[in-house]
Structure 1
Amino acid sequence: MKTRAVIESLSLGERQSVEFISDCRDLELVGQAVCGFLNTSGGYIVCGVDERGELTGIDRAAELAKSLEQGLQRGLSPGALVSVQVQEVEGKELLVIEVPAGKDLPYAFENTIYLREGQATRKADVETIRDMVLRKQVEPERWERRFSPADMNEDLDRDEVRSVVMAVKRSGRFRFRNGSDPVMVLEDLAVSRYGRLTNGGDVLFGANPAMRYPQVRVRAACFSTGRADDTYRDMKSFEGPLVPVLESVYDFIQRNTPTISRFGENNLERRDEPLYPPAAIREGLVNAFAHRDYSDFSGGIAVYVYSNRLEIWNAGRFPEGVTPDSLLSGHISVLRNPDIAHVLYLRGLMEKMGRGSVMIRKACAERGLPLPRWSEDDRGVTLTFFGPEVTTEVTTEVTTEVTPEVTTEVTPEVTPEVTPEVT
């Protein structure tokens, strides 16, 4: 199997930087390559493939992935979101290390700064280091890194802090100095400094960040038809810490989406499933929360459920070099809010940073749905999921519980059993 075929099998994108390592048990070698990618334009490291593209595989891959991730967290400075995942190709387990372009240059591994040049990793020279430091000084500070006016004692949601500590204990992806001390936990996550929350920390762990930043509210509406009008089936505004809001919005979509009934070819047993693939919906929502522009006070996130489609909009823009076409083939993730993304990763909500769009597309195709569409305009980015072109046998079991904010009543008479064929 040649290297190009491996890249295609893993949906790494045709124009991305990829390094193949047959055995990645050498933490120093892997750490240097990761550091080099962080200090340049990002890339992938694939372990278990030799330079000729022959699959060698990795023994006890899951165990090695956990060990590598912990070693990289310890060795990298400043901390960075680096994903280590087990992938299977032709019956062999590989490790894919996904490295985004770093936002906090320069990065060092074991106190040495490395760069990526072509297919090689080298130590950075003094002039290059000086240039990176000067660039960092003149670039504006990211919104998520600025201090929030939130009070650490009054405005902190300690349950959310405990939730991330418990998630890390289960996954082993990170090590806190003292998991029982909320202040130290937040400092370790780079969302608190000098006893103050950053904006990113407020969005993630503030009890009600919308009091300080109204743009973090999420609007959701369900319409009875295929167009926006005054006939709402359900409507709600969500606010609170990021993860509970994300989960509430996901529940809103599931509550207002019909159920599709399918029958097996060889038996009479009916199988009920949501109209849209749940994993694809969750991935689309996580991307919206992770990549949106939080600094725009007129921005936000909005979800619209129509009779024939679902739209997830966020106030952001595609990063430079990312287009709707590149989203369909895989790309290196360009993180607008790396601190927020890191916590989502530790919570198990964010995995395939640059390949989530490929997963969304694949999940829709496997369900027989039209391919989703990403679009961008002056207002932001919209991800649209389309329902079946012809209605399947739908048991439209849409919950008729509506939220207090609804302006019109929900008609409980939903079409019982229409039989569409999914193309």
Structure 2
Amino acid sequence: MKQKTLLARFRKGEDSSNEFVARAASVEAIGKTATAFLNTSGGTIYVGVGDDGTLHGVGEPVERTVETIERMLSERLSPSSFVTVTIEDIGDDPIIVIDVPAGHDRPYVFDGAIFIRSGARTKPADSAMVRKLVQAQVEAPQRWERRISPSMTDEDLDIDEVLATARAAQEQDAGFVETREPHEILRRLSLWRSEGFTQGGDVLFSHDPSIRHPQCRVQFVVFEDDKAGDEYHNLKWLTGPLLDVADQVSRELESINASRVLFSEESLKRDQRKRYAPRALREALVNALVHRDYSAYSGGARIAVYPSRIEFWNSGSLPDELSTSDLKREHPSVPVNPDIAKVFYLRGQMEQLGRGTLKIMRACEEIGARKPVWKDSKSGVTLTIYAADKLPLEASEFNERQAAYLEATQPGSAISPADYAATFAQGLTPRSVRRDLVDLEDRGFVRREGGGPSTVYIRLDT
């Protein structure tokens, strides 16, 4: 999130969906407010910001503080929920941002008590409110990802994918206890119970979920011209465990995202960038796979590549609480499939709840592309991302660290943020190192793989 956006948010003060906590040690306040947001309409907790919006920051080591918060929420908040805990830099003062969605499994309990949000206050729920929360949950239809998958057996399970997720979970979420038993791993992720695998577990971890759920396939098509029609030269149907499908689509997108060499009007300096911001494509793909409606057999997801744009379509519609205009500004997180979303987060495919659309807009702006366009219709949700064929107004050169890295490495080589810091950016903070690498990714010189401590950046041939 941009620094000026955060500071403007702090000046507005606390409200029904924003809470400031001055000290990270105030774990009780953090836990109660997270529970209250889950039980109402979701919200964001900013740790390191005073009640009056004054910036205090979070002292180092901030990464260890994040682990403490994650462990506390995992151990003391029930039932478990998808909550993201991330670090944001504001000058030299890092803060911690906790994004909490509106919960699907209410009532949520923290240390045996139920809390709700009332205006800018977090308060215990009275008996009438508890009855209301319980009754609403009883009457609500079970969401698609939580239903038991018909005829899926242990033989269908991709155990390697399950174990890879467990390893990532231990790195990404301090509250995830180590285990190598597949059923126990999936149980902790709400993807298996005694009756069998859930449909969310099937989509994520079976070798071929399309056998039972044909709507899970993803279509990737490349058209000859910008007019929608039947003239195409590449059409593929991709299937498999959902994270593997995401990787397949990412490789297809990388193959068509050609670099362009441009010169700014003010100088003869050469600038080489991708036609599409990789970060925008990645966020758009994740949104299409995670937030789509899986319940309709006639549904699906489709990535259509045209000469000057890429369209991401998925079946379903935006939640009632959101409009396409809301996607262009800060908005509450309303995950359609929170169990699926949590696995994508643990595997490093998602960073924060409710921020993906803003990242798409910012990434497109940074490379000089037209603003992306969202359309919500009866047939589904479509996001259109446009190619950038000219330099943005403020094209920047590489800094010395980035230039040294590009000079010293070869296409195909991998480097972790820690190795980048040790070799090219000694003395730089981990957050500044990440900014260097994200910038290189947006300019098409590296590709990110993995998540959390396992993250590496692959040098591309550009």
- The corresponding residue for 1:40 is 40
Conserved 8 A contact 1:173-1:346: no
- The corresponding residue for 2:167 is 166
CA positional deviation for 1:159: 1.1
TM score, norm. by length of structure 2: 0.79
- The corresponding residue for 2:6 is 6
Greater alpha carbon shift after TM alignment, 125-134 vs 287-296: 125-134
Conserved 8 A contact 1:49-1:56: yes
Structure 2 Cα separation of the partners of residues 137 and 155 of structure 1: 32
Structure 2 Cα separation of the partners of residues 150 and 353 of structure 1: 33
Structure 1 Cα separation of the partners of residues 274 and 350 of structure 2: 22
Structure 1 Cα separation of the partners of residues 223 and 256 of structure 2: 9
1:175 matches 2:186:
no
- Structure 2: which 5+ residue stretches go unaligned? 393-462
- The corresponding residue for 2:415 is none
1:62 matches 2:76:
no
CA 1:270–1:76: 2 relative to 1, 3 Å:
same
Q: Secondary structure at the match of 1:334?
A: coil
1:365 matches 2:338:
no
Q: What amino acid does structure 1 have at the position aligned with 2:366? A: E
- The corresponding residue for 1:375 is 375
Q: Secondary structure at the match of 2:85?
A: strand
Structure 2 Cα separation of the partners of residues 8 and 158 of structure 1: 46
CA positional deviation for 1:17: 1.4
CA positional deviation for 1:216: 0.4
Q: What amino acid does structure 2 have at the position aligned with 1:135? A: A
Aligned ranges 1:11-410 → 2 under 5 Å: 17-60=17-60, 61-176=62-177, 178-194=178-194, 196-263=196-263, 270-388=270-388
Q: What amino acid does structure 1 have at the position aligned with 2:272? A: D
Alpha carbon RMSD of aligned pairs, Å? 2.5
Structure 1 Cα separation of the partners of residues 5 and 198 of structure 2: 43
Structure 2 Cα separation of the partners of residues 66 and 205 of structure 1: 27
Q: What amino acid does structure 2 have at the position aligned with 1:118? A: G
Q: Secondary structure at the match of 2:96?
A: strand
Structure 2 Cα separation of the partners of residues 270 and 364 of structure 1: 20
CA positional deviation for 1:150: 3.7
Same amino acid, percent of matched pairs: 38
Q: What amino acid does structure 1 have at the position aligned with 2:88? A: Q
Structure 2 Cα separation of the partners of residues 163 and 85 of structure 1: 22
Structure 2 Cα separation of the partners of residues 14 and 357 of structure 1: 23
Deviations 1:316-341 (A, max 9, x none): 21111211211111211101111111
Greater alpha carbon shift after TM alignment, 145-154 vs 335-344: 145-154
CA positional deviation for 1:302: 0.2
CA 1:388–1:11: 2 relative to 1, 3 Å:
farther
Greater alpha carbon shift after TM alignment, 125-134 vs 186-195: 125-134
Structure 1 Cα separation of the partners of residues 10 and 257 of structure 2: 31
CA 1:259–1:5: 2 relative to 1, 3 Å:
closer
More helix by share: 2
Conserved 8 A contact 2:213-2:297: yes
Structure 1 Cα separation of the partners of residues 271 and 151 of structure 2: 48
Q: What amino acid does structure 2 have at the position aligned with 1:382? A: T
CA positional deviation for 1:206: 1.0
CA 1:224–1:99: 2 relative to 1, 3 Å:
same
Conserved 8 A contact 2:262-2:390: no
CA positional deviation for 1:270: 4.6
CA 1:157–1:117: 2 relative to 1, 3 Å:
same
Q: Secondary structure at the match of 2:86?
A: strand
Q: What amino acid does structure 2 have at the position aligned with 1:311? A: E
Q: Secondary structure at the match of 1:222?
A: strand
Conserved 8 A contact 2:58-2:94: yes
CA positional deviation for 1:118: 1.2
Q: What amino acid does structure 1 have at the position aligned with 2:82? A: L
Deviations 1:39-71 (A, max 9, x none): 011111111111222111110222211210121
Q: Secondary structure at the match of 1:154?
A: helix
Q: What amino acid does structure 2 have at the position aligned with 1:175? A: F
CA 1:56–1:125: 2 relative to 1, 3 Å:
same
CA 1:75–1:368: 2 relative to 1, 3 Å:
same
Structure 2 Cα separation of the partners of residues 380 and 253 of structure 1: 21
- The corresponding residue for 1:399 is none
Structure 2 Cα separation of the partners of residues 387 and 252 of structure 1: 16
CA 1:379–1:15: 2 relative to 1, 3 Å:
farther
Q: Secondary structure at the match of 2:155?
A: coil
CA positional deviation for 1:123: 1.4
CA positional deviation for 1:173: 4.1
The structure, 1 or 2, with the larger RCO (C-alpha pairs under 8 Å, 6+ apart) is 1
CA 1:383–1:373: 2 relative to 1, 3 Å:
same
Deviations 1:158-214 (A, max 9, x none): 1110110121233244413x5210010010110001051000000111111000010
Structure 2 Cα separation of the partners of residues 172 and 115 of structure 1: 25
Structure 1 Cα separation of the partners of residues 64 and 391 of structure 2: 45
Conserved 8 A contact 1:225-1:307: yes
Structure 1 Cα separation of the partners of residues 32 and 374 of structure 2: 35
Deviations 1:8-63 (A, max 9, x none): 46999998611111112122221011001110111111111112221111102222
Structure 1 Cα separation of the partners of residues 82 and 70 of structure 2: 10
